[in-house]
Amino acid sequence: MPPSLSEFSHWATLALAAVVTASTLFPLIPTHNWVVRLFDFPRVQFLILALIASALALTLSILNIHRPTQLTFLALTTLASIIHLTYILPYTNLWTPTVEHADSHDLRLLITNIDKRNNTPDLAAQAINDTNASAILLIEINDTLLESFDSIRDHYPHRLEQIRDDGLGIALWSKHPIHDPEIKFLVSDRRASLHCTLDLDNNTRVKLVGLHPTPPALPVKQRENADERYDSDIRDAELVLVARAVAEHATLPDPDPVIVAGDFNDVAWSKTTTLFQKLSALRDPRVGRGLLNTYHAAYPPLRYPLDHIFLSEGTRINDITRIKIPGSDHFAVLAKIQVKPDEDPQTPTPDHDDLEDAQEAIQNGNSSAQEHNESSRSL
Cβ contact 216:232 at 8 Å: yes
Look at 137-151, 202-216, 340-354 and tell me which has the smallest mean pLDDT: 340-354
Q: Across residues 61-70, what is the average pLDDT?
A: 80
Closest CA to 86 of 285, 274, 306, 301: 274
Phi-psi region of 140 (alpha: psi -120 to 50; beta: other; left: phi over 0): left
pLDDT band for position 4 (50/70/90)? low
Query: What are the tens digits of pLDDT across the range 321-374?
Result: 999 999 999 999 999 999 987 766 677 888 999 999 999 999 999 999 999 888
Instruction: Say if residue 2's pLDDT is above 60.
Output: no
Query: What are the tens digits of pLDDT across the range 282-322?
Result: 999 999 999 999 999 999 999 999 999 999 999 999 999 99
- The pTM of this model reads 0.93
What is the pLDDT, as a whole number, of residue 344? 67
pLDDT band for position 275 (50/70/90)? very high
What is the DSSP code string of 197-211?
A: EEE-TTS-EEEEEEE
pLDDT higher at 65 or 174 = 174
Cβ contact 43:88 at 8 Å: yes
How much of the chain, in percent, has pLDDT values that exceed 70? 96
pLDDT band for position 378 (50/70/90)? very low
Number of residues that this document lists for the chain: 379
How much of the chain, in percent, has pLDDT values that exceed 90? 78
- Helices (H), strands (E): how many in the chain? 10, 12
What is the pLDDT, as a whole number, of residue 379? 42
Cβ contact 193:182 at 8 Å: no
What is the DSSP code string of 250-302?
A: HTSSSPPPEEEEEE-SS-TTSHHHHHHHHHH--B-TTTTT-----B-TT-GGG
What is the pLDDT, as a whole number, of residue 8? 76
If one counts every other C-beta atom within 10 angstroms of the C-beta of residue 376, the result is 20
Instruction: Say if residue 1's pLDDT is above 50.
Output: no
Please give the Cα distance from 305 to 98 (Å, whole number): 17
Cβ contact 302:42 at 8 Å: yes
Cβ contact 326:120 at 8 Å: yes
pLDDT higher at 174 or 201 = 174
CA angle, 71 then 74 then 75, to 5°: 90
Query: What are the tens digits of pLDDT across the range 177-199?
Result: 999 999 999 999 999 999 999 99
pLDDT band for position 225 (50/70/90)? low
Average pLDDT, rounded, for the chain: 92
Query: What are the tens digits of pLDDT across the range 153-164?
Result: 999 999 999 999
What is the pLDDT, as a whole number, of residue 68? 83
Cβ contact 369:376 at 8 Å: yes
Complete domains list, the chain, with CATH:
3-91 (no CATH), 107-378 (3.60.10.10)
Instruction: Say if residue 222's pLDDT is above 90.
Output: no
Instruction: Say if residue 203's pLDDT is above 50.
Output: yes
